[in-house]
């Protein structure tokens, strides 16, 4: 059995907190969701822009009604069931999960292994799989960040560097997307990361693994 997947310095919780703040969650609601103190959440999200929900006439915000509580109870039960069914990943479980993930999200052409995602959990799972099953030279692992121009590049790069254990010095030049005022831009405050590994030999093995799964 392989050890569970973890995140240094609560990186995943911080990313989740920032995403929820961008969706206008209150600090206390975020703290309850990620299991952190309200003060810690405040530090994590202090630079995240958000629009607080409108309140009519200064009315006091109501707590969840019976229907909302019932729905939350169903969600909690579904989450518990999911954890119980999936359980702890064996080595073969990780092999199949990672191969299926790359089959759906990874690059299919060229001489590089490339995997892009904005979800830290997906990036972490991909790297766990890639490092475990393939002959990876850590010094050849690269990353490239896609980030909206109004977001903090240093914060985002530090976040992904901590998650991936790829030093910022090995990040390629980021792509800074121009902000379009007509669409929401705070959905992914840490941007989208692409992992890049240039090796024709490793590419062949990765694609052979995918082909074996799909045939």
One domain for residues 107 and 186: yes
Residue 170 maps to a domain: yes
Q: Is 3 exposed, middle or buried (0-12, 13-18, 19+ CB in 10 A)?
A: exposed
User: Does residue 73 share a domain with residue 128?
Assistant: no
Residue 63, pLDDT score = 60
The reported pLDDT for the residue numbered 3 is 42
33 shares its domain with 77: yes
The CATH number given to whatever domain includes residue 198 is 3.30.1330
1 belongs to a structural domain? no
24 is in which domain, residue-wise? 8-53+63-86
SS3 (DSSP) at 199: coil
CA distance 165 to 131: 12
The predicted structure's pLDDT at residue 25 = 87
115 falls within a domain = yes
- Is 20 part of any domain? yes
Contacts 24+ apart (CB under 8 A), 104-110: 106/206, 106/210, 108/207, 110/203
> Which one, of 147, 207, 145, lies nearest residue 170 by Cα?
145
Total domain count for the chain?
Answer: 2
Query: pLDDT tens string for the chain (215 positions)?
Result: 444 444 445 677 888 888 888 888 888 888 888 888 888 888 888 878 776 665 554 444 556 677 877 888 888 899 889 889 988 889 999 999 999 999 999 999 999 999 999 999 999 999 999 999 999 999 999 999 999 888 889 989 999 999 999 999 999 999 988 876 655 555 678 899 999 999 999 999 999 999 999 99
C-alpha 138/C-alpha 146 separation (Å) is 22
Same domain, 79 and 157: no
- Examine residue 3 and state whether it is found in any structural domain, yes or no: no
Residues 102, 77 share a domain: no
pLDDT at position 102: 97
Same structural domain for residues 16 and 116?
Answer: no
Claim to verify: residue 107 and residue 79 sit in the same structural domain: no
Which one, of 97, 87, 148, 85, lies nearest residue 124 by Cα? 97
Note the helical H segments in the chain: 11-22, 27-34, 38-45, 66-86, 91-105, 120-133, 153-164, 200-214
Residues 71, 103 within the same domain: no
In a domain? residue 175: yes
Verify that 106 and 174 share a domain, yes or no: yes
Q: Does one domain contain both 39 and 108? A: no
Q: Is 80 within a domain?
A: yes
Looking at the fold, whether 97 and 200 belong to one and the same domain comes out as yes
**Residue 82 contacts by C-beta under 8 Å, 6 or more apart in sequence?**
none
Q: Are 129 and 210 part of one and the same domain?
A: yes
Report if residue 177 sits inside a domain: yes
Residues in the chain: 215
């Amino acid at each position: 059995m392989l050890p569970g997947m973890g995140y240094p310095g609560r990186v995943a919780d911080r990313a989740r907190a920032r995403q929820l703040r961008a969706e206008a969650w209150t600090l206390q609601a975020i703290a309850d969701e990620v299991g952190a103190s309200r003060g810690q959440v405040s530090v994590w999200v202090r630079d995240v822009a958000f629009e607080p929900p409108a309140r009519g006439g200064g009315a006091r915000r109501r707590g969840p009604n019976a229907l909302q509580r019932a729905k939350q109870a169903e969600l909690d039960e579904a989450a518990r069931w999911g954890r119980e069914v999936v359980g702890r990943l064996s080595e073969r479980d990780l092999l199949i999960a990672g191969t299926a993930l790359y089959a759906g999200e990874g690059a299919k052409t060229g001489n590089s292994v490339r995997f892009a995602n904005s979800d830290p959990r997906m990036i972490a799972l991909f790297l766990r799989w890639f490092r475990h099953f393939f002959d990876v030279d850590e010094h050849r692992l690269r990353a490239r960040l896609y980030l909206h121009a109004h977001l903090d590049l240093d914060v985002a790069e530090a976040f992904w560097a901590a998650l991936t254990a790829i030093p910022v010095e090995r990040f390629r030049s980021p792509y800074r997307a121009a902000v379009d005022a007509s669409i929401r831009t705070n959905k992914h405050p840490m941007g989208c990361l692409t992992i890049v590994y240039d090796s024709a030999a490793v590419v062949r093995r990765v694609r052979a693994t995918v082909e074996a799964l799909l045939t």
